[in-house]
Chain A
């Protein structure tokens, strides 16, 4: 009997380990995320504004907030333009389907890099190779809902709330590292209104972005995405992250 009991811990351990993987997924939240994904997936072009705040730790581990406002324009699967102005300066990114140019207005210098043929591949590559950040890029991945389901152990629908006079659905997703809260506008189009990321393991640093002025399927001329260096702007080199 004692020998047989030795096997019991293994059995219990198996059950205990397996139950940790059980997820708490709210079907309403998933439905809303899917619906938002559909709306974004059906867009042929879009432009909107994003007001961002990002926490950073200084040398003494004090939280410093940085603010920025971005205007983003997507067109087709291979055109993107972002203009960002904030406490870290004024920058512009221009992607025309073959090259990405990053222009620093304050320094009047720029880099131009050959880029993949689609916006999402370009975003991935540039983030991976050079740490470029693209505001709100998370929402534009076609597998957004699947990615959420994969990465978070709980996804909950928290009800509806008003943000800047707009009724929004609130969703919260959590895992061991982060807590994400999304507000999806309950207007004509189910589009993101605000999202907040809280980094649990990094002093609860927060990143927040609020979206406004969505323009659905505008006719944006291709020349908008071409970068023409301003007078005396200097083409400089860039160091790869690794």
Chain B
């Protein structure tokens, strides 16, 4: 019986083979990460990366996709393919390129005519970002020139007054999922256009500016742990809250924690977590011994109307009305158009 003895050279040889065979697989994996992305419906690709998009696609070719490309074909696969196919592959790009050269002037002319005039003037949608939309939305209040004759640029960050309390009821419906978030509602989505509601002659929509207030307006006490609330001076008059600014007073979202003696008679009862709250001008009130206190919106609450200041936002395939951090889903109850406050949960 012979014994096999391996010296240090043999051992290094085996290690070399090990390293050589392991590294290529890693290189392949890295290459996978740079593969072309897909925008197709139910895409065949699981990886989506813009980095590897062929630069040729931006060429002003008349071809709908800049011509078929086989630039990434690896030699490993090429060996298994018929030689005729490979020959065709190499000649193809030049054919395509020749064709595009002859047609290019036309394309450019059309494009310049079509885009240079339109690009500048066309009104585009407001793009909202998950991280920044909260404050951005509320800036709209200050820029609202539809109300009154003011052009005062007042930026009011009311986002803390639009936070939503979670619902105590469990959801029987699957949430609508988009961008790593679940949008939970008890009732199905039923779209109807957002038309701001005016509660009465005393009601003023958010963004309404006035230099002076009527004598009936009172300074509001804020029951809050938030120091910012205490620094700001809110005034209340018949269901409308005004924030004092150097220029005057601007109507804002009711500050959570505001305690008032009375609310307008137009306020409606709404059911929140099996108790009753009062709803007026987009604000929710809870009755207490001193009168009424403004409370945060609670997910699952159904309201019949929404005030001015909201924004219709397309989220995936659905359209919600957004006020700061509160999303309202359009629904229908007994044939009547209403809104349900959405519970938004991060889902990863």
CA distance A7 to B111 in the complex (A): 65
| Residue contact A151 to B35, C-beta cutoff 8 Å | yes
> Which B residue's beta carbon lies closest to that of A61?
B174
Does any Cβ of B come within 8 Å of A30's Cβ? yes
In the assembled complex, the CB of B85 is this many whole angstroms from the nearest CB of chain A, namely: 5
CA distance A108 to B195 in the complex (A): 14
Contacts across chains A and B counted by CB atoms under 8 Å: 312
Residues of A within 8 A of B68 (CB): 34, 37-38, 40-42, 142, 144-145
Does any Cβ of A come within 8 Å of B65's Cβ? yes
Contact of A239 among B4, B15, B179 (CB under 8 A): B179
> Which B residue's beta carbon lies closest to that of A50?
B41
- Among the stretches B53-61, B142-150, B205-213, B282-290, the one at the interface with A is B53-61
Contact flag A140-B319 (CB < 8 Å), given A31-B85, A112-B122, A112-B125: no
Contact flag A1-B4 (CB < 8 Å), given A99-B119, A111-B125, A111-B314: yes
> Which B residue's beta carbon lies closest to that of A24?
B80
Residues of B within 8 A of A239 (CB): 128-130, 133, 178-179, 313-315
Does any Cβ of B come within 8 Å of A71's Cβ? no
Which residues of chain A from 213 to 241 have a CB within 8 Å of any chain B CB? 222, 226, 234-241
Contact of B43 among A17, A106, A119, A138 (CB under 8 A): A138
| Residue contact B319 to A77, C-beta cutoff 8 Å | no
| Residue contact B6 to A4, C-beta cutoff 8 Å | yes
| Residue contact B50 to A113, C-beta cutoff 8 Å | no
Most chain B beta carbons < 10 A, residue from A10, A132, A209, A236: A236
Contact of A237 among B10, B14, B125 (CB under 8 A): B125
In the assembled complex, the CB of B194 is this many whole angstroms from the nearest CB of chain A, namely: 8
Which residues of chain B from 15 to 45 have a CB within 8 Å of any chain A CB? 15, 17-18, 21-22, 24-25, 28, 31-32, 35-45
CA distance A24 to B179 in the complex (A): 36
Residues of B within 8 A of A147 (CB): 35-36, 38, 44-45, 72
Does any Cβ of B come within 8 Å of A133's Cβ? yes
> Which B residue's beta carbon lies closest to that of A123?
B39
| Residue contact A237 to B311, C-beta cutoff 8 Å | yes
CA distance A146 to B41 in the complex (A): 19
Does any Cβ of A come within 8 Å of B127's Cβ? yes
Most chain A beta carbons < 10 A, residue from B74, B99, B314: B314
Residues of A within 8 A of B311 (CB): 236-237
Residues of A within 8 A of B336 (CB): none
| Residue contact A238 to B127, C-beta cutoff 8 Å | yes
Contact flag A236-B111 (CB < 8 Å), given A30-B85, A77-B65, A112-B125: no
CA distance A149 to B99 in the complex (A): 27
CA distance A46 to B322 in the complex (A): 40
Residues of B within 8 A of A108 (CB): 193
CA distance A207 to B62 in the complex (A): 31
Apart from the given pairs A99-B119, A147-B38, 11 other A-B contacts in the complex at a CB distance below 8 Å = A4-B11, A14-B21, A27-B81, A37-B70, A38-B68, A112-B123, A137-B39, A137-B40, A141-B65, A151-B32, A242-B180
Chain B residues in contact with chain A, CB under 8 A? 3-6, 10-11, 14-15, 17-18, 21-22, 24-25, 28, 31-32, 35-46, 48, 50, 53-54, 56-74, 77, 80-82, 85, 88-89, 92, 96, 99, 103, 107, 110-111, 114-115, 118-119, 122-130, 133, 172-174, 178-180, 191, 193, 311-317, 319, 322
